[in-house]
Structure 1
Amino acid sequence: MGKIILSADSTCDLGEMLREKYNVYYRPLHIILGDKQYDDGVDIAPDDIYDTYKKHRILPKTAAPNPSEYVSHFKRWTDEGFEVVHINIGSGLSSSFQNCCIAAAELKNVYPIDSHNLSAGTGLLVLEAAERIGQGMPASQIQQEIMDLRTKSHASFIVDNLTYLYEGGRCSAIAALGANILNIKPCIEVDNTSGKMSVGKKYRGSLDKVLRHYTLDKLNQYTNIRTDKAYIAHSGISEERINFVSDTMKEIYDFKEIYVSRAGCTISSHCGPNTLGVFFMTK
């Protein structure tokens, strides 16, 4: 078999620089806003969602590509004799992986991977797959090795305000009101055995104070963090805060690369602006 194509759901939030460097092809998730359907990152951006919410108090719904859309996405390569490694958002969060597997069974030579993660937590696994493609590793081996790495990719993020989670039906009015009045900012943690999310530590105080404590807590939680690369992903936040978190990370570990990416519409529509997460891998 010849060249391997690397593909991923748009929710991996890899960032344009790395996406282009490693020739990663995105299959966008759907954003349903009002009576219109869009493709994440193609014909709608997070700021469009924020503007619509400010003006009309409407938040979008998100939907996975259906099996036929995955078939169309992969077929252009499999028809030419290529193999495709595709990395999905965690199956605990979306039906994307299930639909991708249906398409893979129809086409053959497609190797789906349930990332058990989201955003840059998935993005880190995409980079791992890209490195293995560069080494000439077979697609089936890449699939297995990335699956073995899933519990090594750690994702979490701080939500500045619970309004979007409440409006999207993901927390109660009482919880949102109480958190906003008391200035509580929860840490949302991703279970890397399923991709499901849960509320971790609840921080209280200004966003700057919380971001520092959160970053230190997460990096001090492990003694075997890989220092070759890490990520800061955010849903729209100031450059000063990004640099502040990056500097805080460097206080603990001498990371070779700290990539920064802005989350797409799927993530941003659930969390709202000023959400930021630190993503890294352990050995």
Structure 2
Amino acid sequence: MKVAIATDTNSGMMGQVAAEKGIYVLPMPVTVEDKTFLEGSDITHAQLYQAMRLHKRISSSQPAPGQLVEFWDSILEEGYDQVVYIPMSSGLSNSCSTAIQFAQAYGGRIQVVDNHRISVTQATSVLSAKRLAEQGCGAEEIKACLEAMAYDASIYIAVDSMEYLKKGGRITPAAAAFASVLNLKPVLTIQGDKLDIHAKVRGMRQAERNMIEAVKRDRQTRFGDTPDECLLVGTAGTFETPEMAERWRQLVQAEFPTFSVAYFQLPCSIASHVGINAAGTGIVKWEAA
């Protein structure tokens, strides 16, 4: 069986990086004011952050069903027998459940994986799927493997500005004003399905320390029996400059010297809620190459 691996831009995989690895990527919609763009296609992260700096209305949504079906059909037309499609977590968007529904029409040729991940952790699932496909695994086997490891991951995100959490209805205007006065920064966590509050601390430096300590605890407890080579520690964010992103990456790298820590830009679906200059880090279990 010839099996293709596909995902969406919520994984952070797109452009030349995805092409070099043979990964098919569906761009996710992001709406700025009343105009809809496709992530990684006709809007860059820099353009999105500039729109946020100008306080424009921003929202994310799932692809239209026709766009999804056309995407799958184009892959199958290249001669593949099956497609493993890995969208963002079903707990964060309806796009996964929609994909599962439409995949039923393909008689098993499309296998949609709900492995409850996004960003860095979703990307590791995509790379694991590609490796399994190269080893000769079928689509159903790959799906089962990824879903069995679905919750072996943690993400923490510190939000610098409450503006887009407030606009998205995730916090009330009163709570946002109160937090701004006290310089409180929420640290959010994604552990499987939902985006939840992990902590509230004063200032971004304390928030960064809180996230690092959280990942250290996860390393010692949830992943205590897992060797380093089967784990990935990464950083992410919506930083406006490369220098800000590199400072954060180096800070996490110094705390985890046995890992090679990389930086990923948070996808538009998360950026539309957390705003600019958010910082994130996470730890995920995956099969070592």
TM-score, normalised with respect to structure 2: 0.86
Partner Cα distance (1:203, 1:222) in 2: 22
Q: Write out per-residue CA displacement over residues 82-111 of structure 1, whole angstroms, 9 at most, x where no aligned residue.
A: 311111111111111112112211223111
Do the aligned residues in 2 keep the contact of 1:158 with 1:211 (CA within 8 Å)?
A: yes
Q: CA 1:239 to 1:76, structure 2 compared with 1: closer, same or farther past 3 Å?
A: closer
Q: In structure 1, what residue type is equivalent to 2:106? A: L
Is 1:230 paired with 2:233?
A: yes
3-state DSSP of counterpart to 1:150: coil
Q: In structure 2, what residue type is equivalent to 1:261? A: F
Q: Write out per-residue CA displacement over residues 201-260 of structure 1, whole angstroms, 9 at most, x where no aligned residue.
A: 11213x234313321232223322653332211112554554444444445544443221
Q: In structure 2, what residue type is equivalent to 1:274? A: N
Q: How does 1:189-268 map to 2 (within 5 A)?
A: 189-192=189-192, 195-205=193-203, 207-223=204-220, 224=223, 227-228=228-229, 229-268=232-271
Do the aligned residues in 2 keep the contact of 1:124 with 1:280 (CA within 8 Å)?
A: no
Q: Which of 234-243 and 207-216 deviates more?
A: 234-243
Q: CA 1:52 to 1:250, structure 2 compared with 1: closer, same or farther past 3 Å?
A: closer
Do the aligned residues in 2 keep the contact of 1:114 with 1:147 (CA within 8 Å)?
A: yes
Is 1:186 paired with 2:189?
A: no
Do the aligned residues in 2 keep the contact of 1:33 with 1:59 (CA within 8 Å)?
A: yes
Partner Cα distance (2:261, 2:187) in 1: 20
Q: In structure 1, what residue type is equivalent to 2:86? A: I
Q: In structure 1, what residue type is equivalent to 2:31? A: I
Q: How does 1:51-70 map to 2 (within 5 A)?
A: 51-55=50-54, 57-70=55-68
Partner Cα distance (2:175, 2:162) in 1: 8
2:10 is matched with: 11
Do the aligned residues in 1 keep the contact of 2:156 with 2:211 (CA within 8 Å)?
A: no
Partner Cα distance (2:236, 2:143) in 1: 25
Q: How does 1:132-211 map to 2 (within 5 A)?
A: 132-192=132-192, 195-205=193-203, 207-211=204-208
Q: Aligned pair count?
A: 278
Q: How much does 1:115 deviate?
A: 2.7
Partner Cα distance (1:114, 1:34) in 2: 31
Partner Cα distance (1:261, 1:16) in 2: 14
Q: In structure 2, what residue type is equivalent to 1:262? A: Q
1:101 is matched with: 100
Q: In structure 1, what residue type is equivalent to 2:63? A: P
Q: In structure 2, what residue type is equivalent to 1:52? A: A
Q: CA 1:177 to 1:127, structure 2 compared with 1: closer, same or farther past 3 Å?
A: same
Partner Cα distance (2:216, 2:93) in 1: 28
Q: How much does 1:187 deviate?
A: 1.1
Q: How much does 1:27 deviate?
A: 1.0
Q: Which of 225-234 and 70-79 deviates more?
A: 225-234
Do the aligned residues in 1 keep the contact of 2:32 with 2:58 (CA within 8 Å)?
A: yes
3-state DSSP of counterpart to 1:117: coil
Q: How does 1:28-107 map to 2 (within 5 A)?
A: 28-55=27-54, 57-79=55-77, 80-107=79-106
Q: Write out per-residue CA displacement over residues 174-196 of structure 1, whole angstroms, 9 at most, x where no aligned residue.
A: 1111112211111111131xx21
Q: Write out per-residue CA displacement over residues 106-165 of structure 1, whole angstroms, 9 at most, x where no aligned residue.
A: 223111111312221212211221222232222211110000111102112111111111
Q: In structure 2, what residue type is equivalent to 1:151? A: Y
Gaps of 5+ in 2: none
TM-score, normalised with respect to structure 1: 0.88
3-state DSSP of counterpart to 2:149: helix
Gaps of 5+ in 1: none
3-state DSSP of counterpart to 1:103: helix
Partner Cα distance (1:240, 1:51) in 2: 17
